[in-house]
Amino acid sequence: MAATAPAGGAYLEAAGLRTFYIKKGSGPAVFLVHGASPGASAWVNWHPTIDGLAARGFTVWAVDQPGFGYTDNPDDYSIDFRVAHMQAFIAQTGVERYSLIGNSMGGYIVARLALADPERVHRLVVVASATLAPPGGAQTQEKHLEHVRELREYEPSLENMRKLTMGTLYNKALVTDELVRERHEMSIGKNREAERRRAAAPPVRPIHEELPSLRMPTLLVWGANDRGGTLEKALLLFQKIPGAELHVFDHCAHWPQWDHAARFNILVRDFLTSDDAADAR
């Protein structure tokens, strides 16, 4: 891939793949897991969060999943392998206790990680994950499926990536030439091939009926103007997780961590560091 990896990035081997990650800051560990839309990567999805949380006293690990960003393409394109890869990556870091933040499909992945290893997960933050949430009513489901179709019909070009990103963010001023270029570069080459292979992989297994067993404090963050995940999905997900908190941003689409970056970072910092009664669950 012609694109240059972001400064501060490094590689380690996880589940047999050369895996790219960005690590910044010092303090309690937080792992950031990006979504699955065209051009998704650790840097593209999370760089306002990486710097924001690192500056607020956390060790932030942002990881490119298999077939995304600068991480190798796998032989197995299933979501199960992406969960196993993230488990292997965390094991390679040697971190014993950590918090997880996942956006979109990344929210599904971090929920799977938390269900599998509840003793080591301190806090869980799920950001705009329609995939994790129950289906909802007919209109909600149709809106979600329409969004999925839009993503699958994407053909790489700067013009198409600008259009796609205009739908991802509510604040159109954030859709800069730099962001469009970075996201486009992450949607071509080996990552375009991986996207095609993922489309033929087995469908995601619903786990919303398992979510009531989550016991770590959980924060759900949603955008009121998310084109792919209505507020009905946010409320249904909220009702599935005992003691969860739900924060909804108005004038916000699918990436609250971008649309409301400063407020998002403060909200997450306060949630990750609070010592309230929820910890006794």
Grade residue 151 by pLDDT with cuts at 50, 70 and 90: confident
Q: Answer yes or no: 104 catalytic.
A: yes
Inside any domain, residue 264: yes
Q: Answer yes or no: 254 catalytic.
A: yes
**Reduced DSSP (H G I as helix, E B as strand, rest coil) percent helix, strand, coil of the chain, to 5:** 45, 15, 40
Site of tokens 């897991």 = 33
Inside any domain, residue 83: yes
Grade residue 5 by pLDDT with cuts at 50, 70 and 90: confident
Residue from 34, 144, 254, 260 carrying the catalytic annotation: 254
Q: 132-147 pLDDT, tens per residue?
A: 999 989 888 888 888 8
Domain around 240: 9-274
Distance CA 149, CA 171 (A): 23
Asked if 196 contacts 223 with a C-beta cutoff of 8 angstroms, the reply is no
Distance CA 161, CA 41 (A): 14
Grade residue 3 by pLDDT with cuts at 50, 70 and 90: low
Angle at 16 between CA 201 and CA 14, to 5 degrees: 95
> Region 97-107: what's the mean pLDDT?
98
On the question of pLDDT at 280 being above 70, the answer is: no
Inside any domain, residue 280: no
Classify 171 as helix, strand or coil.
coil
Grade residue 276 by pLDDT with cuts at 50, 70 and 90: low
Q: Is 131 exposed, middle or buried (0-12, 13-18, 19+ CB in 10 A)?
A: buried
Inside any domain, residue 3: no
Inside any domain, residue 64: yes
Return the axis-axis angle of helices 177-185 and 42-54, rounded to nearest 10°.
120
Range with the poorest average pLDDT among 90-99, 152-161, 267-276: 267-276
Tokens of 22: 């960005």
The residue among 110, 100, 135 whose CA lies nearest residue 208 is: 135
Residue from 37, 41, 99, 104 carrying the catalytic annotation: 104
pLDDT at position 116 = 98
CATH of the domain at 28: 3.40.50.1820
Neighbours of 16 (CB within 10 A): 13
Distance CA 35, CA 253 (A): 14
Q: For residues 278 and 3, which has the higher predicted lDDT (pLDDT)?
A: 3
C-alpha 167, offset from chain centre = 17
Inside any domain, residue 165: yes
Inside any domain, residue 2: no
Number of domains in the chain: 1
Q: 164-199 pLDDT, tens per residue?
A: 999 999 999 999 999 999 999 999 999 999 999 999
The β-bridge relationship of strands 121-127 and 98-103 is parallel
Inside any domain, residue 166: yes
Residue from 85, 144, 147, 226 carrying the catalytic annotation: 226
Range with the poorest average pLDDT among 84-98, 215-229, 263-277: 263-277
